[in-house]
Amino acid sequence: MHNETIRHYKVVHTWTGILCGLFLFVAFYAGALTVFAPSLTRWATPETLPATPLEQVDGLIARAMEQVPLTREQFRIRLDETGGNAAWVSWPKNGPASPRDKVPEVGAVLAADGSLTIVDLPHRELGEFIDTLHRTAGLPVDVELGSMFMGVVSALYFVALVSGLIVLLPSLIKDLFVVRLGKNVKRFWLDAHNLVGLVCLPFHLIIAVTSVVFGLHDEIYAVMNPVTFQGEIRQMFQRESPFSAIKPDAEPAPLQPVTMLLQRVRETAPDFRPYMLEIRQAGTKGASVSVWGNDEQYLAYRTGLAVVNGATGAVVNTDYVPELQGGYGSTVAAFFSLHFGTYGGEPVKWGYLVLGLAGAFVFYSGNLLWIESRRRHEKRSTGPVTQSRSTHVMAALTVGVCLGCVSGVSLAIIAGKLMPMLGDDPLPWQNAAYYAALVLSVGWALVRGAARATVPLLWAAALATALIPLLALVEVLMPQANGDPGGLVLEAVALVGAILLLWMARASARRLRNGPRDSVWSAA
């Protein structure tokens, strides 16, 4: 391949990476945590409502329907992790709502004398906050608008991946596993950037393509509608919705026992593991039971769904049950599963965590390479270089956005843990913690410059991350705290992250003292 061609592809790779890098850093850093979003939510807000043995749930539901007419419209039964020994019954406090709606919920238990005890439930929003951050790259806009923007960013990201691979091809075999340590810091960062990027290339291609589909799905369907669906795509979705399988029927009919409903689903899909039932119009012939669950043996949506007739116990729709999906459903579900790592169990989740953090490193190191390359490009003689304003600004934005994101996510996790313990809604505090850390970090970097801002920002990120394992002490000191055993894993990962950030702070301090004095990373 001609050198001129390689140079053109290098320009494309550089500028698409620069334009998208900071957004992708936030999306990848938050996305790495998204695979453990349910665990994060349980860790932040463990169950405060006593569990009800599954064989007693029917009595609890009957008593709730007698005393709280609202439950006839909708209530939920969340199952324990084994999927069948105990459950928690709750319903939206102010009327029907979808599972994604952020509305107050109340739960109920049977007291020793058989009476109904109703309690307000804490907001459980940490996992959803991290997922929203991942989908919008932290842009303070509507989720749909942010997702659409990230769809465009992901398309440019795909271009950067392909052009980067073409640039690397001539030296692929010779330099694949070479990471040269020495005085040439730029060479080390370039080797590390290339190695991590190439090893993770299949993962990056999957994420890029699926992100384009998620972010621009409305636009894709709008193009397909007149050609493929003869302008009737909306009607088709309505007809094929699993929730349309049961027609409204207000004629009274008893709700089948919960154990029987679960048994019918297990008979239909033996490997499907339910974790929640959502029941609407209970006590009528039109009662619908949405059974949400997972089966990690298959590429499936983020969560599976079976629809059961609550009055007869018949399973009426299995289009979203992983092992029973049709060809079209399996194809669409594969995009979700490959993007979110909802297959293969814990090994795949940990793999996605590592690959997601490695992806964040690729974008961070890519910006560092561009900034350092500008110095060498501008060096017309043997004398020192006067760095351009754009280079200084890009360096400040790189450290401000990336390290501000790390600090902000850690502080948001802490807020998500502490606020429910103090009886407050965590969502406003999570938003405030994240955006305050991000804005202050970016402002500090722009005012102080990248060199002088980097080490304090790394220390701040390390401290914020180290506060997560310190919450274990809070669990011991606060009687109302109810620790989740899975939190030990999160706290251990956070501790390792804090140590790595401290190591980076020390390395950056040495770079400030000993690096070239005409570099934007020099304190001179």
Pairing of β 273-280 and β 116-120: unpaired
Tokens of 285: 């012939």
SS3 242: helix
Is 78 within 8 Å of 276 (Cβ atoms)?
yes
Tell me which amino acid residue 451 is: A
Pairing of β 288-294 and β 105-110: unpaired
Q: Please tell me the distance from the alpha carbon of residue 298 to that of residue 185, in angstroms, as a whole number.
A: 44
Tokens of 28: 């990848």
SS3 83: coil
Q: What is the pLDDT along the chain (524 residues), one digit of tens a residue?
A: 556 666 666 667 677 777 788 899 999 999 999 888 888 888 888 777 888 888 888 889 988 888 888 888 889 999 987 656 788 888 888 777 776 667 778 888 888 777 888 888 887 788 889 999 999 988 988 888 888 999 888 888 888 888 777 766 665 555 555 555 555 555 565 666 666 667 778 888 888 888 888 888 777 777 777 767 666 667 766 766 777 778 888 888 999 999 999 999 999 988 888 988 999 988 889 889 999 988 888 877 778 889 999 889 899 888 888 888 877 777 878 888 888 888 888 888 888 888 888 888 878 877 777 776 665 555 554 555 566 677 778 888 889 999 999 999 999 999 988 887 777 788 889 999 999 999 999 999 999 888 888 899 999 999 999 999 888 676 666 544 455 555 677 888 889 999 999 998 888 888 777 766 666 666 66
* 306-336 b/e (C-beta count within 10 Å ≥ 16 → b): bbbbbbebebebbbbbbebbeeebeeebbbb
What DSSP designation does 171 have? G
First to last CA, the chain: 42
Instruction: Give the Å distances, CA to CA, from 269 to 162, 245, 317, 319, 333.
Output: 41, 18, 12, 12, 17
* Helix or strand run (H / E) with residue 386: none
Q: Please tell me the distance from the alpha carbon of residue 359 to that of residue 348, in angstroms, as a whole number.
A: 16
Neighbours of 162 (CB within 10 A): 16
Q: Please tell me the distance from the alpha carbon of residue 19 to that of residue 228, in angstroms, as a whole number.
A: 34
Neighbours of 95 (CB within 10 A): 10
Cβ contacts of residue 155 below 8 Å, gap of 6+?
208, 212, 216
What DSSP designation does 284 have? B
Among the listed residues 361, 374, 362, 364, the one whose alpha carbon sits nearest the alpha carbon of residue 519: 374
Pairing of β 74-79 and β 273-280: antiparallel
Q: Please tell me the distance from the alpha carbon of residue 460 to that of residue 206, in angstroms, as a whole number.
A: 33
Lookup result for tokens 């932290």:
138
Is 421 within 8 Å of 46 (Cβ atoms)?
no
Is 437 within 8 Å of 429 (Cβ atoms)?
no
Is 261 within 8 Å of 277 (Cβ atoms)?
yes
Tokens of 318: 């299995």
Main-chain phi, psi angles of 383, to 5 degrees: -80, 175
CATH fold for the domain made of 246-340: Nuclear Transport Factor 2; Chain: A, (3.10.450)
Beta bridge partners of 433: none
Classify residue 431 by burial, with Cβ atoms within 10 Å: 0-12, 13-18, 19+: middle
Main-chain phi, psi angles of 291, to 5 degrees: -105, 110
Give the DSSP letter string of 173-212: HHHTT----SS-HHHHHHHHHHHHHHHTHHHHHHHHHHHH
What DSSP designation does 293 have? E
Among the listed residues 516, 524, 410, 400, the one whose alpha carbon sits nearest the alpha carbon of residue 463: 410
| pLDDT score for 440 | 96
Main-chain phi, psi angles of 108, to 5 degrees: -140, 150
Q: Please tell me the distance from the alpha carbon of residue 360 to that of residue 28, in angstroms, as a whole number.
A: 5
Is 406 within 8 Å of 458 (Cβ atoms)?
no
Q: Where are the domains of the chain?
A: 3-41+129-214+345-514, 49-121, 246-340
What DSSP designation does 299 have? -
- What does pTM read for this prediction? 0.85
Is 252 within 8 Å of 327 (Cβ atoms)?
no
Q: Please tell me the distance from the alpha carbon of residue 143 to that of residue 153, in angstroms, as a whole number.
A: 15
Q: How many residues does the chain have?
A: 524
Q: Please tell me the distance from the alpha carbon of residue 135 to that of residue 146, in angstroms, as a whole number.
A: 7
